[in-house]
Amino acid sequence: MKAVDQARNALAFLEDEVHERAFDTLIWGLRVRRDAAAREVPEWEDLRTLASQIKEHTLANLAHYLEMFEASAMRNGATVHWARDAHEHNQIVDDILSSHGARHLVKSKSMLTEECELRPFLQRRGVQVTETDLGERIQQLDDQPPTHIVGPAFQKTTKDVADLFHRVYGSDPDRADPVYLAQVMRDHTRPLFLSADAGMTGANFAVAQTGAVVTVTNEGNADLSGNVPKLRICSVGIEKIIPGPEELAVFIRLLTRSATGERITQYTSHFAKPRAGGEMHIVLVDNGRSDRLADERFWGSLKCIRCGACMNTCPVYRRSGGLSYGATYMGPIGIIMMPATDIRRYRELPFASTINGSCSNVCPVHIDIHDQIYQWRGVMNDHGQFSTTKKAAMKVAGAVLSQPGAYRAAAESGVAALKVLPHFALYNRLNAWGRHRDVPEPPTETFHQWYARTRGRDGTGGTSL
């Protein structure tokens, strides 16, 4: 597949100043609220450390906890399925649906099902799939993937949504207030819960000791999707396992505070047993996670609890938009997760970062995100994923900067000096430095020339060069 050109996609996003402003303001607001929420909890840093340790312990003993979860879930009366990859996951879900003659599925938001591209898979097989969470539904109606892992439609203004709902539902296009729009959506999706044949949720956590799949939501659609139809399916990435309810408490305290600054969401739901007369199926999905777990550089990314804090703080994400990454997971966490799935397609993502380190320091589970981004850049070079011009430019820079004579000649040849600094990377778009910015004026004399003129090579007297 063709490599995603994040920089070009970002440029398209930036050209629409209204949305760029609104997005940055909204998303930075989440970061500010996260800071305030963290400030309220005196043991915040201890919680982060503890959460990281719990995840590391669980991942280091993943097989043990997965089997414990399976046993608990079966004891509760659920059926547990194991999916090696996205295709197996989709096939399992389709088999469950078709064995029940289910034609209409309601679901609440799940990044895993986005990752597996479940919706198009089922739709091709004649299953009608309705997203029931407001943001995810908006994106579905607009035929767009999520732009943020917590708020899929964060990139849209209320006016965009008013226009969309007018187009789809015939609602008032001039009423761009969230309460009205939420009501429009509710009026159109609530009846669908009653007519659906099956309901589906993802999982924020899967508790090994209790066998419960836990969702953390505000709208309650996971509860309706999971409880109204008799057939319930939960898709769970294998890294979502945690040992027990005590550990869960640590994550509940961290998750929403990190995500939106809320102390807790409206609903923290434990799906443990099928409803009376119904069935509950849990699909445990690997889809590359075991491979990542085996990679000593990048396994830590599996600790992620999908709070989106790294995205909210990322200056590049906020000015690029979520779609620019061309990926299920975007922003800093996306940069370190996606290349493992397709190195060629996502080879530019590690470069969509200033490596400023903010992401790693808001991460509630201490993932060294910015260090992993840095490492992924090296991986791209090692795997021949640099363009030939970039590779050549790096070689030239390395040759010039490792030889004092060559460097001095370049630095002191006036106009050439201008080129050397941006020259490190002028491989990509010619003279990019000058397009949105001015190039610094080169001085008449470098520091080195001044030192040589006034003090000399050994610092005792002038003139030697």
Kindly tell me which residue out of 358, 366, 367, 372 binds other proteins, with binding defined by CB under 8 A: 358
Q: What 3 state SS string does 353-417 have?
A: CCCCCHHHHHCCCCCCHHHHHHHHHHHHHHCCCCCHHHHHHHHHHHHHHCCHHHHHHHHCCCHHH
Bridge partners of 107?
A: 131, 200
Q: Least CB distance from residue 73 to other proteins, whole Å?
A: 37
Residues in region 285-314 near other proteins by CB under 8 A: 313
For other proteins, the closer CB: 123 or 387: 387
Q: How many CB atoms lie within 10 A of CB 299?
A: 18
The CA-atom distances, in angstroms, between 98 and each of 126, 247, 356 are 10, 37, 49
Bridge partners of 217?
A: 267
Q: Least CB distance from residue 36 to other proteins, whole Å?
A: 8
Residue 387, interface with other proteins (CB under 8 A)?
A: no
- Part of the chain binding other proteins (CB under 8 A), chosen from 57-65, 195-203, 247-255, 397-405: 397-405
| Residue 261 DSSP symbol | S
For other proteins, the closer CB: 200 or 337: 337
Look up residue 252 and give its two tokens.
Answer: 């509940």
Angle in degrees, 0-180, between the axes of helices 62-75 and 44-60, rounded to the nearest 10: 90
Pairing relationship of beta strands 212-217 and 205-207 according to DSSP bridges: antiparallel
Residue 352, interface with other proteins (CB under 8 A)?
A: yes
Residue 380, interface with other proteins (CB under 8 A)?
A: yes
- Part of the chain binding other proteins (CB under 8 A), chosen from 65-73, 91-99, 240-248, 457-465: 457-465
For other proteins, the closer CB: 168 or 401: 401
Look up residue 48 and give its two tokens.
Answer: 């982060």
Residues in region 262-281 near other proteins by CB under 8 A: none
For other proteins, the closer CB: 118 or 393: 393
d(CA 327, CA 303): 19
Residues in region 10-39 near other proteins by CB under 8 A: 10-11, 14, 20, 24, 28, 35, 38-39
Q: Least CB distance from residue 379 to other proteins, whole Å?
A: 8
Residue 388, interface with other proteins (CB under 8 A)?
A: no
Kindly tell me which residue out of 126, 440, 461, 462 binds other proteins, with binding defined by CB under 8 A: 440
Cβ within 8 Å of residue 334, ≥6 positions away: 311, 325, 327, 328, 349
- Part of the chain binding other proteins (CB under 8 A), chosen from 169-177, 249-257, 262-270, 441-449: 441-449
Residues in region 409-438 near other proteins by CB under 8 A: 411, 417, 420-422, 424-426, 428-429, 432-433, 435-438
Look up residue 426 and give its two tokens.
Answer: 């002028």
Q: Least CB distance from residue 271 to other proteins, whole Å?
A: 34
Sign of CA dihedral 361, 367, 373, 378: positive
d(CA 220, CA 269): 9
Q: Least CB distance from residue 351 to other proteins, whole Å?
A: 6
The 359-378 contact track toward other proteins, x by CB under 8 A, reads: -xxx-----------x-xxx
Residues in region 35-74 near other proteins by CB under 8 A: 35, 38-39, 42, 44-45
Q: Least CB distance from residue 339 to other proteins, whole Å?
A: 12
Q: Least CB distance from residue 22 to other proteins, whole Å?
A: 14
For other proteins, the closer CB: 188 or 455: 455
For other proteins, the closer CB: 217 or 360: 360
d(CA 374, CA 368): 10
Rg (alpha carbons) of the chain, rounded to whole number: 26
Number of residues that bind other proteins (CB under 8 A): 83
Kindly tell me which residue out of 123, 183, 381, 463 binds other proteins, with binding defined by CB under 8 A: 381
Residue 83, interface with other proteins (CB under 8 A)?
A: no
Q: Least CB distance from residue 6 to other proteins, whole Å?
A: 8
d(CA 186, CA 224): 12
Cβ(322)–Cβ(12) below 8 Å: no
CA angle, 246 then 251 then 253, to 5°: 100
Name the nearest CA neighbour of 279 among 90, 122, 95, 121.
95
Q: Least CB distance from residue 7 to other proteins, whole Å?
A: 5
- Part of the chain binding other proteins (CB under 8 A), chosen from 172-180, 214-222, 294-302, 442-450: 442-450
